[in-house]
Structure 1
Amino acid sequence: MIPVMLMGTLVYGIRYTFPEYLCSFLVAGGTSSKTISKLAHPNAPLGYGLCFLNLAFDGFTNATQDSIGTRYPKTTAWDIMLGMNLWGTIYNMIYMFGLPHGSGFEAVQFCKQHPEAAWDIFLYCLCGAVGQNFIFLTISRFGSLANTTITTTRKFVSIVVSSLLSGNPLSTKQWGCVAMVFSGLSYQIYLKWRKLQRFKKRKPM
């Protein structure tokens, strides 16, 4: 969430309100603290560096998607989805089949030898394609920040539920992280509700 807002502000000049920054800080901060507190030993600097690059590129991608929707209003969710998947396919084909260390031919041979694996891969791709419709529809209608909030919350809830079901009780610090996340989400919902109420009052009868 925070990388999306930073990239949107720095690259495309998108302005966010202080409450939006506050909500993002609570959700992202709580999620990050909860995840880091579960690590027994810190990762190598290389790992943190790769995570930083991933967040930076992810934030730039989401901000660019918002910018495309603003500059080209007729662009639909499926236009963006097609562009993302088309270029992703081209890059992966070059990497897998065009470079000396690519393993594309080995993967094809493996699927020929194990048709059941090829079927599982097909179903996996099909589910991913269906799921992408909801992702890009959310981005096109509500913006990338809303989509990032949804995905971050889903991951956080998965971590909490997994911890509870596996019999690993949360510490006081971790429960504090949970409170941070749900405080940010609750405040965000309240702001949306208040904005909707103002819109209804201004709307002529």
Structure 2
Amino acid sequence: MTKNGAEIVISVLLLTTTGLLFFINRCLSLSQFFTNPSSEYSWITSGFLNILGYSTVFVPGYLIYRYIHKIGYLDKAGNTRLTFVIRKCFEADEILERTNVASSNVTHSRTLLQDTLLLLFYFVCLQASFLTWGVLQEKVMTQKYENTKGDIGHFTDSQFLVFVNRILAFLLSGFVVFCTRQPSHKAPLYKYVYCSLSNILSSWCQYEALKYVSFPHQVLAKAAKTIPVMIMGKLISKTKYESYEYVAALILSVGMLFFMLDTGNDHKGSSVTTLSGLILLCSYIVFDSFTSNWQGSLFKQYHMKPVQMMCGVNLFSCIFTAISLMQQGGFLKSFTFMIDYPSFIFDCFLLSICSATGQLFIFKTIATFGPLVFVIITTIRQGFSVLLSCIIYKHEIRVIGIIGILLVFFSIFLRVYCGYRIKTKRKRTQNVDLKI
């Protein structure tokens, strides 16, 4: 097939699949079944429509990817604009292999003090960003807004909150990428699609879960994700973990479980409500565990900067959520809510700032210390979030909750101490081998 013929096929694939999926999603969004679902099952219908909206981007991209590889389009294509876009989306840079070899030979060794100070800096910045974000998240999804007329409203569109968080993060990271000197970007753009999709799904599950379970229970249930992250690490990145890391993760999860059992649930609903919250929390854990490990593997493979990762992931997150919101009329509903309740605008903007700055430190932490260290920092932040929530909303903490907190900090100490001891032993062994 000629080059022009292949480009016509690619254009037809893009237009027909996008148009068909857009039409199906729009028809379903306007149907009575999806417009007036039961409150207990609303997350199922909205989640289905969201995924169908994401497929408007994912399915055409997948079909084009399969087609260009089947006909060897990139091997014989010229230098047209379409070819340039396709290469950026689906092909790694030709000098990637040489860059990887060179990068692997360059090691940036830091002392224990430097590592400790750097980790402490990331830790403090992550806590400040996401503790504020957690309080605002609870307020936006659980509290009611009142305007000057005395009208009361309750915001319910979780996907719009995901969008505003991602659009500001994309603009911030894009500004940094274009205004500062960055290494050449080697990764094909489609590699970001997987972690972008899992990232927005995990965020959506997190917001939706607040409709069915209390904030303390939601936060502390996530603490158990250290074990799924380790499992995902072995499956995706083939990461090998030491025995003490499994022990520390288990103690951490048990400690958070104790704390969770010590606090009451403010959402006393039916068993269906409890089941919905449980399913959403489990889905969040799976999606979030995949996201951090996929990003970790991309850092190792392509050696991009954290801000480049942030820009790439949020680019697709904005595309996915924006198209889905347009198909469901989510933008119109959310902007109408903003006009009716101006105080929501401030909360939404501050929520986005906290999310964007927090993401910068998320990617820096994963790139520097790996996904497991990031998850441990996040787990500690979740404990602080619950403590903050208990102070604000007067939740009582009993002895079992205090024991849980102590177990969490003990697990952190155990991991840091054992990690340092093993690292020191390995250095000594290497020095002995060099002398021999």
TM range (shorter): 0.7 to 0.9
Cα distance in 2 for partners of 1:184, 1:19 equals 10
Q: Offset at 1:112? A: 5.2
C-alpha deviation, 1:164, in angstroms: 6.4
1:69 aligns with 2:299: yes
1:138 is displaced (CA, Å) by: 0.5
Distance in 1 (CA, whole Å) between partners of 2:399 and 2:344 is 44
Counting only pairs closer than 5 Å after superposition, residues 37-56 of structure 1 correspond to structure 2 as 37-40=262-265, 44-56=274-286
Alignment of 1:172-183 (within 5 A): 172-183=399-410
The answer to whether the aligner puts 1:92 opposite 2:317 as a matched pair is: no
Structure number with higher relative contact order (C-alpha < 8 Å, ≥ 6 residues apart): 1
Q: 2:309 aligns with which of 80, 83, 93?
A: 80
Asked if 2 retains the 8 angstrom alpha-carbon contact of 1:27 and 1:181, the reply is yes
CA distance change for structure 1 residues 164 and 127 in 2, over 3 Å: closer, same or farther? closer
Contact 1:66 1:139 in 2 (8 A): yes
Alpha-carbon distance change, 115 to 28 in structure 1, aligned in 2, over 3 angstroms = same
**1:77 Cα deviation from its structure 2 partner:** 0.6
Change (3 A) 1:77 1:172: same
**Aligned counterparts of 2:277 and 2:239: Cα–Cα separation in 1:** 30
**Quick one: percent identity of the two aligned structures?**
27
Cα distance in 2, alignment partners of residues 195 and 60 from structure 1: 27
Q: Distance between the aligned counterparts of 2:380 and 2:344, measured in 1? A: 32
Secondary structure of 1:188 counterpart: helix
Which of 146, 155, 164 is the matching residue for 2:382? 155
- 168-177 vs 182-191, which deviates more? 168-177
- 1:1-205 superposed matches below 5 A: 1-40=226-265, 44-72=274-302, 74-99=303-328, 102-111=329-338, 117-118=344-345, 120-160=347-387, 162-163=389-390, 170-195=397-422, 197-198=424-425, 201=428
Comparing 142-151 with 172-181, which one deviates more in the overlay? 172-181
* Alpha-carbon contact 2:263-2:396 (below 8 Å) kept: no
Deviation at 1:119, TM superposition (A): 5.0
Count how many residue pairs are aligned between Structure 1 and Structure 2: 201
Q: Which whole-Å CA distance do the structure 1 matches of 2:367 and 2:427 have between them? A: 23
> In the alignment, is the contact (CA less than 8 A) between 1:20 and 1:188 conserved in 2?
yes
* AA partner of residue 247 (structure 2): L
Could you tell me which runs of 5 or more consecutive residues in structure 2 were left unpaired when the two chains were aligned: 1-225
State the shift of 1:131 in Å: 2.1
Matched-pair contact (CA < 8 Å) for 2:263–2:397: no
Question: What is the distance in 1 between the residues matched to 2:345 and 2:388?
Answer: 32
> What is the CA–CA distance in structure 2 between the aligned matches of 1:171 and 1:113, rounded to whole Å?
42
Scaled by the length of structure 1, what TM-score is found? Answer: 0.82
**In structure 2, distance between residues paired with 1:110 and 1:47:** 25
Distance 1:182 1:116, change over 3 A: closer
Summarize the Cα distance change of 1:52–1:115 in structure 2 as closer, same or farther, 3 Å threshold: closer
Moved more, 12-21 or 143-152: 12-21
- Segments of 5+ residues of structure 1 without an aligned counterpart are none
Distance in 1, matches of 2:426 and 2:404, equals 33
CA distance in 1, matches of 2:372, 2:400: 27
Q: In structure 2, what is the Cα distance between the partners aligned to 1:3 and 1:119?
A: 36
Distance 2:341 2:391 in 1: 37
State the SS of the aligned residue for 2:310.
helix
- Which structure has the bigger radius of gyration? 2
Taking a change above 3 Å as real, the CA distance of residues 129 and 9 of structure 1, as seen in their structure-2 partners, is same
C-alpha distance 173-126 of structure 1, shift in aligned 2 (>3 A): closer
CA distance in 2, matches of 1:170, 1:38: 7
Report the Cα offset of residue 173 of structure 1.
2.1
| C-alpha distance 97-167 of structure 1, shift in aligned 2 (>3 A) | closer
- Structure 2 vs 1, CA of residues 75 and 67 (structure 1 numbering), >3 Å: closer, same or farther? same
